[in-house]
Amino acid sequence: MPDAIHVEREGGLLTLRLNRPDKKNALTRAMYAQLAEALSEADQSPEINAVLITGSAECFTAGNDIADFIEQPPSNLDSPVFHFMLSLLDCRKPVIAAVAGAAVGIGTTLLLHCDLVYVSRDARLRMPFVNLGLCPEFGSSLILPRLLGHAKAAELLLLGEGFSGEQAAVWGVATEALGSGEAALAKAREMALRFEALPAEAVRISKQLMKAPDRELLRKVIEEEGALFTERLRSPEALAALSGFINRR
């Protein structure tokens, strides 16, 4: 079976490509663990100056693997999904995302922690946590209302409404929306490679300054959300919704 996370080096750029096309790049525990390890290594390595996270030109990710949510739900902050998200939060190097097609659940949430986000205009972003009997995760209950205002964020987080890549760029969830998946991937790579020519220390300090004011509050919110999310995963509401997806055919 090919590696579900494809890791590529191009000079100082490390690309992590989600590669599980038969399951729309849904993320398993093993994939989170691999992503966490790669991000931590990139953070430590003096040879890496930026990380690009992408899927294919057709699909970014359908979010957490739903079978995993039922069979091996994360139970605490020591679970692979938390390791991944915390390594993303802690990464001192710029992280760039290229998004086309579906970006569901954590596929949208993780974008809120990247530095540059290039999407196709017709990308489909959605955080259907309530629809699955769950709740927002990894700081989205803090970041989205601040970015969009409570009333708009409520549409996304309390109704689980989806939105396009074009809208994501208008709201500032994405840096830029491009005409196709290929164009989004190409633009993300082009911008990620620019860090090669920039003074690495100055970039690192600048990112740190941008993230510092909210760092502690964000951690606190992530822990609160995480405790509720893991509890919700075992709730009758969530178990019914998650099994509904598995048995939908």
Residues that bind ligand COA (CB under 6 A): 23-24, 26, 62-67, 102, 104-105, 128-129, 132, 245
Secondary structure E strands in the chain: 5-10, 13-18, 50-54, 95-99, 102-104, 116-120, 124-126, 163-164, 176-178
CB of 63 to ligand COA, least distance (A): 3
CA dihedral for 66, 125, 99, 137, sign (positive or negative): negative
Q: Which lies closer to ligand COA via its Cβ, residue 132 or residue 157?
A: 132
Q: Judged by CB, which is closer to ligand COA: 81, or 89?
A: 81
- Shortest distance (Å) from residue 178 CB to ligand COA: 21
Between 64 and 87, name the residue whose CB sits nearer to ligand COA.
64
- CB-wise, 51 or 233, nearer to ligand COA? 233
The β-bridge relationship of strands 163-164 and 124-126 is: antiparallel
Q: Cβ closer to ligand COA: 38 or 62?
A: 62
**CA–CA distance, 17 with 2 (Å, rounded to integer):** 12
Residue number, nearest CB to ligand COA: 105
Strand partners for 96 = 52, 116
Q: Which residues contact 141 (CB under 8 A, 6 or more apart)?
A: 135, 157, 221, 225
**Residue 125 Cβ, how far from ligand COA at the closest point, in Å?**
11
Residue 80 Cβ vs ligand COA, minimum distance, rounded to whole Å: 15
Question: Nearest distance from residue 28's CB to ligand COA, in Å?
Answer: 9
